[in-house]
Amino acid sequence: MKKYSLAIIVMMLIALLTKASNEAYEQAMRKELQQMKAAESPEALKKSANGFARIAEMMPEEWLPDYYAALALANAGFRSTGGMEEMDALFAQAKKHADKASAISPDNSEIVAIQGFITMGELSVDPNSRGQHLSGVAMQTFGKAIELNKQNPRAIILMAQMEMGMAQFFGQGPEKACGLVDSSLQLFEKEAATKEKGAFQPTWGKEMALGMKENTCK
Q: Are 78 and 124 contacting, i.e. CB atoms less than 8 angstroms apart? A: yes
Query: Which of 37, 34, 32, 63 is CA-nearest to residue 50?
Result: 32
What pLDDT is attached to residue 170?
A: 85
> What is the spatial distance between Cα 189 and Cα 179, in angstroms, rounded to a whole number?
16
What pLDDT is attached to residue 10?
A: 43
What pLDDT is attached to residue 197?
A: 53
> What is the spatial distance between Cα 44 and Cα 35, in angstroms, rounded to a whole number?
8
Query: Which of 2, 68, 61, 80 is CA-nearest to residue 32?
Result: 68
State whether residue 147 is helix, strand or coil: helix
Determine what percent of the chain falls in helix, strand and coil, rounding each to the nearest 5. 80, 0, 20
What pLDDT is attached to residue 196?
A: 62
What is the DSSP annotation of 127-141? Answer: HHHHHHHHHHHHHHH
What pLDDT is attached to residue 198?
A: 56
Q: Tens digit of pLDDT for each residue in 32-46?
A: 999 999 999 999 999
pLDDT block averages, 10 residues each, the chain of length 218: 49 45 87 95 97 96 97 97 95 98 98 98 95 94 98 97 91 94 96 75 95 91
Q: Tens digit of pLDDT for each residue in 108-145?
A: 999 999 999 999 999 999 999 999 899 999 999 999 99
**Buried/exposed code over 116-141 (b: 16+ C-beta within 10 A; e: otherwise):** bbbbbbbbbbeeeeebeebbebbbeb
Query: Which of 122, 64, 60, 121 is CA-nearest to residue 98?
Result: 64
**Buried/exposed code over 84-111 (b: 16+ C-beta within 10 A; e: otherwise):** eeebbebbebbbebbebbbebeeebbbb
Task: List the Cα angle 174/79/136 in 5-degree steps.
Answer: 45
